[in-house]
Structure 1
Amino acid sequence: MPRITDTVTTADGSCPVSLHTPDGDGPWPGIIMYPDAGGARPTFRAMADRLAGYGYAVLVPDVYYRDGDWAPFTMATVFSDEAERRRLFSMISKVTPEIMAADARAFFDYLASRPEVRGESFGTTGYCMGGRTSLVLAGRVPERVAAAMSFHGGGLATDDDDSPHLLADRMQAAIYVGAARSDRSFTAADGERLDKALTAAGVEHTIEWYDAFHGFAVPDNEPYDEAASRRHWEAMKSFFASHLV
């Protein structure tokens, strides 16, 4: 798949991105793929290539660009290595919902400016913290998000004032949530709360539970589950085909 590396100018600096497109002539609908807590890395660039193969221009941003040239995490050990765990959570804490939305506006403008991309509204998909970002954007930048997907996303329906479910009445996108079992970051009760909020707001949505653990869709995550990952690719192919033109 054709792939370019570039930077997007945001209010806080220059964010490295990669843009992945199908072979052949475009333009194609645009999608932003938000990585999990481990950040942009080869696994996600390979995943973006695969999604691009379905007929999309896929942008993968480095959401940690404010930390400069940060050292990559080893996903197999990052949560058991206390120093690395502290470094990871320090970086995560800087990516607030306000930052997510501000950066996304720059990403959407970038996509709209590219000859490979068509349209002014886009898809978003994400994993773990990226799955939360996807729903945050559907509520905070609703005019730019036509379809939003979240896979093993956490913090989607909490008691916090910035919980994504509280933005349901602003959402214009169709929403898909692929949840993991036994996931403390998104429990069955959280799923019920999210479903009620989206239903009350009249948001088209689907919440599905996967018989796999948090991290099931990302190949370099220890809980990666091939069958669940295959199901998530099928869901993504079908969902974006129905909601992005």
Structure 2
Amino acid sequence: MTDVQGTDLDIQTQDGVVDAYLVHPADGRPRPGVLFYMDAYGLRPHLRSMADRLAAAGYTVLVPNVFYRLGRTPVVELPEFIDPGADPTIWERLGPVVGSLTPDLAARDAGAYLRRLADSPLVADGPVALTGYCMGARLALWTAAAHPDRVAAAAGFHGGQLATDDPGSPHLGAPNITAELYFGHASNDHSLPPEQIERFEKALTEAGVRHTCEVYPGARHGYTQADTPAYDKEADERHWAALLGLLERTF
């Protein structure tokens, strides 16, 4: 396993300062860049460990706190093991935070994140890849649509609300996407019912987007998150194989 080096940094945007985590192979050589979009639970030890694993595979990975407008990490105090079933107030506190990040704000912030990667001597020249989890899957789609010249590949895992009736629904950006996409849906996910999966894939197909969409049988929303009850080791390892395969094809 390649040794990695991680550091905390700040990124200036039009609306403030984002606290973020950057990790890369310890040799310091420029590597392909990956913008890693967090889930609603935020930038925490588990996400850092996921970014470390990705960096060890040969990438420079940036994980921004996308809720920076409401404060630095942790925006909402959460326990080490996050179980909304045991504490329903978790989502009462997180709901308004998630809702505050509109598609327009997300796309604008993405420009700052992508510039930070482009300016880093640790990132190889050229487009980057995206990966996103839960709400981060929506952010990956909005970013791929808003910045097609900067995004070569995008992945999303156990994403919710990908193809709704909302005018800002992520699937509506499909005609602008030039990246190759991979999406691993959870079969047990109330935030992405079968009709949304069908609508999402139809939008990608009609737009001519190169894509693979798979449903992970038995997996729950959040299956990659080992600090939650939704974690599914088999589905998580399948996610890693799919993500690394996409990145290998891209870079």
Shorter-chain TM-score: what band? over 0.9
TM-score by length of 2: 0.93
2:226 is matched with 219
Match of 1:129 in 2: 135
Q: 1:20 aligns with which of 18, 23, 48?
A: 23
Gaps of 5+ in 2: none
Residue identity in the other structure for 2:206:
A
Q: Which residue among 58, 61, 66 is the counterpart of 1:58?
A: 61
**Deviation of 1:82 (Å):** 4.3
Deviations 1:85-138 (A, max 9, x none): 222111111111111111110010000000000124211101100111111111
Shift of 1:183: 1.1
Matches within 5 A, 1:150-169: 150-169=156-175
Superposed, 1:3-152 pairs within 5 Å as: 3-69=6-72, 70-74=75-79, 76-78=82-84, 81-152=87-158
Q: Shift of residue 221 of structure 1?
A: 1.8
Residue identity in the other structure for 1:159: D
Give me the identity figure in percent: 42
The amino acid that maps onto 1:204 is R
**Per-residue Cα deviation, 1:69-94 (whole angstroms, up to 9, x for no partner):** 42432353346534432221111111
Looking at structure 2, the residues matched to 101 and 45 of structure 1 have their Cα atoms a distance apart, in angstroms, of: 23
TM-score by length of 1: 0.95
Give the letter aligned to residue 109 of structure 1.
R
Is 19-28 or 70-79 further displaced after alignment? 70-79
Distance 2:28 2:203 in 1: 41
One-letter identity of the residue aligned with 1:11: Q
Q: What is the RMSD computed on CA atoms of the aligned residues?
A: 1.4
Query: How big is each residue's C-alpha offset from its partner over 1:33-60, in whole Å with a ceiling of 9 and x where there is no partner?
Result: 1111101111000000000111110001
Q: 1: distance between equivalents of 2:6 and 2:91?
A: 31
Distance 1:147 1:79 in 2: 35
Asked whether the equivalents of residues 22 and 62 of structure 2 are also in contact (C-alpha less than 8 Å), the reply is: yes
Q: Deviations over 1:196-240 (max 9, x none)?
A: 111111110000111211111111121100111011001111111
Q: Distance in 2 between matches of 1:39 and 1:52?
A: 19
Contact 2:36 2:132 in 1 (8 A): yes
Instruction: Assess if the C-alpha contact under 8 Å between 1:38 and 1:72 holds in 2.
Output: no
How many residue pairs match? The answer is: 244
**SS at the partner of 2:124?**
strand
Cα gap change, 1:80 to 1:96, in 2 (>3 Å): farther
User: Conserved in 2, the CA contact under 8 Å of 1:79 and 1:85?
Assistant: no
- The structural deviation recorded for 1:65 is 1.1
